[in-house]
Copies of this chain bind each other. A is one copy, B any other.
Amino acid sequence: MATQRRSPDATRRNPAVRRAILTAALELAAEVGYAQLSIEGIAARAGAGKQTVYRWWPSKGAVLFDALLMLSEGDADQAAELPDTGDLEADLKTVLRATVEELNDPRISEPMRALAVEMLIDPALAADYTERLDRPVKDLKRRRLRAAQAAGQLATDADIDLAVELIWGPLRNRWLYREGPLTAEFADAVVEAALNGLRPQPPAAG
């Protein structure tokens, strides 16, 4: 009979243990890949008991998720907004080039791919991720695109969500599916193609 699991008291939580577990998770994810990653192994490497992991996280995906959050919280310089110099194309290229940098860092990239995989499997984790990481970032993107719309740099009838997908999707896919190298040139080409479309361009009107 399931004894009423008293929800753990977060105030008593030992932050050193938390850090040790998250660090171990990141390292192991990078070393052995997500499939071979195990809670047993994380606890062992962190010098923690298994129950300590299970007390605070429901799955190995959740551990990894928090680990990535810990990483990104290190960035105190997280922009509250995407840059807006008035030149949409230039701003987007700046942002995508920065993303390219990040995804080329295996310490971030490998655990992140692992997490992406887990989200495809675990809907609860996906919802959590969407809520806490994806949505805030997506809101930034939407805000920047709406500003561009207001400034006449984007079609007034453009579907903003679809626009986000056209601009950021190709980069994510090339990364996730390892379909090719992530370069600044690719980032630029995507921005240009998404903004201009694929049809022949009419001669610039003056």
Q: Which residues of B contact A169 (CB under 8 A)?
A: 165, 169-170, 173
Asked if residues B199 and A155 are in contact (CB atoms below 8 Å), the reply is yes
Chain B CB within 8 A of A176 CB: yes
Q: Which residues of B contact A120 (CB under 8 A)?
A: 113, 116-117, 120, 176-177
Asked if residues A202 and B199 are in contact (CB atoms below 8 Å), the reply is no
Q: Which of B156, B163, B198 is within 8 Å of A154, CB to CB?
A: B198
Number of interface residues of A (CB under 8 A): 45
Q: Which residues of B contact A10 (CB under 8 A)?
A: none
Asked if residues A154 and B200 are in contact (CB atoms below 8 Å), the reply is yes
Chain B CB within 8 A of A158 CB: yes
Asked if residues A189 and B170 are in contact (CB atoms below 8 Å), the reply is no
Question: What is the minimal beta-carbon distance from A102 to any residue of chain B, in angstroms?
Answer: 19
Give complex CA distance A202, B202 in Å: 8
Asked if residues A201 and B117 are in contact (CB atoms below 8 Å), the reply is no
Which residues of A, 85-129, contact B by the 8 Å Cβ criterion? 113, 116-117, 119-123, 126
Question: What is the minimal beta-carbon distance from A55 to any residue of chain B, in angstroms?
Answer: 15
Q: Which of B117, B156, B170 is within 8 Å of A117, CB to CB?
A: B117
With contacts A156-B200, A170-B169, A173-B169 taken as known, whether A162 is within 8 angstroms of B117 at the C-beta atoms is no
Which residues of chain A have a CB within 8 Å of any CB of chain B?
33-35, 113, 116-117, 119-123, 126, 152-156, 158-159, 162-163, 165-167, 169-170, 172-174, 176-178, 189-190, 193-202, 205
